[in-house]
Amino acid sequence: MTRRDEQGFSLIELMVTVAILAIIAGIAAPSFVNLIRGNRVTSAANELVALLQVARSGAISNRATATVCPSSDGSTCAAATGNRWIATMTKNGVTTVLRDSTFSSGVAVTASANLSGANNKLTFTPNGFSAAGANTSGTVGICVGALSGQNDIDVSANIGRISTARRAATSACTAPGDN
């Protein structure tokens, strides 16, 4: 048997292949990290939209008042924004938790001026209309400061209509404006 008849890779061919794979992985890694951050923003915004929709439909179908607010324990509202939010329904003096959502720790949650002024509580009436204190609208900003470009999704409830909008926020995740 001669050397030409042997099968397999030489050490040099293997090292060249490993070097090329390392270069490709080095180029792809930052894009992958940004993809994960972008998915965290989108996932948290979708969860908040679902929370608002559950509260609104619960208020309408049960002819009750429903509230969406931050929570520290999953059963009562807290005044400060955080990564855990609940939807509660109050009927005949009895409050029931409809949904409890916790967002990723890498996501910053900020409230608009209307929502902040209402102790971060967004309320739906039995007719499906929303209120943030005396105002008819409130907006929650979902942001990842380390993400460049459109790093914020604003989730709004305005007179019962729930909507989302992307915007560029600073790395400090600036608060959203009201509708």
Stretch 29-39: mean pLDDT: 84
The DSSP bridge partners found for residue 68 are 87, 122
Tell me which of 1-15, 53-67, 113-127, 163-177 is least confident.
1-15
Tell whether 178 is covered by a domain: no
Q: Say if 24 falls within a structural domain.
A: yes
pLDDT tens digits, one per residue of 120-149? 999 999 999 999 999 999 999 999 988 888
Query: Which has the minimum average pLDDT: 2-11, 42-51, 99-108, 135-144?
Result: 2-11
Are the beta carbons of 162 and 140 closer than 8 angstroms? no
Q: Is residue 74 part of a domain?
A: no
* Total number of domains constituting the chain: 1
- pTM greater than the 0.85 cutoff: no
Residue in the block written with tokens 């070097």: 19
The pair of three-digit structure tokens given for residue 2, joined into one six-digit string? 């001669």
- Within a domain: residue 176? no
pLDDT at residue 3 tops 70: no
Whole-angstrom Cα distance, residue 76 to residue 86?
8
pLDDT at residue 2 tops 70: no
Say how far apart CA 166 and CA 84 lie, in whole Å: 21
Can you tell me the distance from the alpha carbon of 16 to that of 152, in angstroms, rounded to the nearest whole number?
Answer: 42
To 5 degrees, how large is the angle CA 64–CA 68–CA 69? 135
On whether residue 55 sits in a domain, the answer given is yes
Please state, in angstroms and rounded to a whole number, the distance separating the CA atoms of residues 64 and 75. 18
Residue 179 forms part of a structural domain = no
Q: What is the pLDDT of residues 70-104, one digit of tens each?
A: 999 999 999 899 999 999 999 999 999 999 999 99
Q: Above 80 in pLDDT, residue 30?
A: no
Is 94 within a domain? no
Which CATH number covers residue 27? 3.55.40
- Domain range enclosing 26: 11-64+103-167
The CA distance from 109 to 103, in Å, is 9
Residue 1 inside a domain? The answer is no
